[in-house]
Amino acid sequence: MSWLTALARPEIVNLKSYEHAAWEPGLERLHANELPWRALGDNSDAGLNRYPEPQPRELLERLANLYDVATNALLVGRGSDEMIDLLVRVFCRAGKDSIVVCPPTFGMYAVSARIQGAEVLAVPLRAAQDFSLDEAGLLDRCTPAVKLIFLCSPNNPTSNLLSEEAILRIAARLEKRALIIVDEAYIEFATAASLARHIPQFPQLVILRTLSKAHGLAGARCGALIANPQIVALLRKVIPPYAIPQSTVEAALRLLQPPQLAVMRDRIDTVRAERTRLIGALRALPNTVRVWPSATNFILAEFHDADQALSRARAARLLIRDVRAQPALGRALRISVGTPEQNDRLLDALQ
């Protein structure tokens, strides 16, 4: 894939990565300047006195199994946020290259790009057409300086799935010219399948997944990137050598067992049922103008008086998200689906 090495920053293509201490769990470790005793109160499986395995084999295997991809198509890190940052650092030269985002959307794409000094081009979703992709507008903006196109499906904060056909058409048009990154942080709450199955035909496609949302592990910081193995190899050059804390590895491994996964699926069913109930009840409130359908674990709602809704929620000790600064969302708030009790309390407060 010579187009890929042409797309990436030459410094990264030529970078000789840091050589971490050899990972040979069969031998005793006198090669990494660790202390040979555990810290007091350390009841982890492996011992926190030891550096963690760089890309933990067992975790990779379990995630590969969960996402139905090959282990060499997977990179694990501290949440999808780290994956977004790695992509921008590997592909965007400061002052020269650009990314495309489709607002209203997740803010980290633009923040990571700006930190790197890459330009952010915005091609808004079509608010009047259910926040669908503006395919023609997007392709128009894709000059050779555009290296990455960030699409979020289902999108945060509008909660809709983007059209798979549209994403694949964009990918086809930008073949060998840019990477199409599809952030699927909320896909477990939708009924659609992951786009990861298209990577063999579309090596310019990169998928982001996370354990932060449906799996309930936001505090552990664990996310994955799924891509062609050559893209994974490039990103591996840049990820810090001991990116994933051992406590995170162990928490994720416990969670990725069949009984825990069954609990996760039950909870997704509960979230979906509560989502339907909340949407119905919110639509019946006098203060709502519009409540959008949701393919996620949150609901976007437009209010006549959003300030009043925010303060009433707060008085009931509930925080909801003000998204009014985003394009086309002048009166909108974003509400995460809570427990049935929390949802009742919110509805009571907003009555």
Ligand X SMILES: *Cc1c(COP(=O)(O)O)cnc(C)c1O
**Structure-block tokens of residue 270:** 């509960």
Amino acid identity, position 48: L
Among 210, 228, 294, 343, binds ligand X (CB under 6 A): 210
One residue of 8, 73, 185, 249 binding ligand X per CB under 6 A: 185
Candidates 212-220, 241-249, 257-265, 307-315 — which segment interacts with ligand X by CB under 6 A? 212-220
**Cβ distance to ligand X smaller for residue 8 or 151:** 151
Spatial contact of 333 and 322, defined as CB atoms under 8 Å apart: yes
Contact 55, 76 (CB under 8 A): yes
Position of tokens 């416990």? 254
- Region from 164-172, 206-214, 227-235, 326-334 binding ligand X, contact rule CB under 6 A: 206-214
Stretch of 74-82, 116-124, 170-178, 283-291 contacting ligand X, by CB under 6 A:
74-82
Q: Rule CB under 6 A: is residue 188 a binding residue for ligand X?
A: no
CB nearer to ligand X: pick between 170 and 217: 217
Closest distance of CB 186 from ligand X, Å: 7
DSSP 302: E
Q: Which of 8, 12, 69, 80 binds ligand X (CB under 6 A)?
A: 80
For residue 297, state whether it binds ligand X (rule: CB under 6 A).
no
> Do residues 149 and 174 make contact, with C-beta atoms less than 8 angstroms apart?
yes
Backbone angles phi, psi at 193, to 5 degrees: -85, 155
The interface with ligand X within residues 100-159 (CB under 6 A) comprises 106, 152, 156
Q: Which residue has the tokens 């979230």?
A: 271
Among 54, 56, 79, 104, binds ligand X (CB under 6 A): 79
Query: What is the rounded CA–CA span in Å between residue 28 and residue 242?
Result: 19
Q: Interior CA angle at 91 toward 127 and 192, to 5°?
A: 45
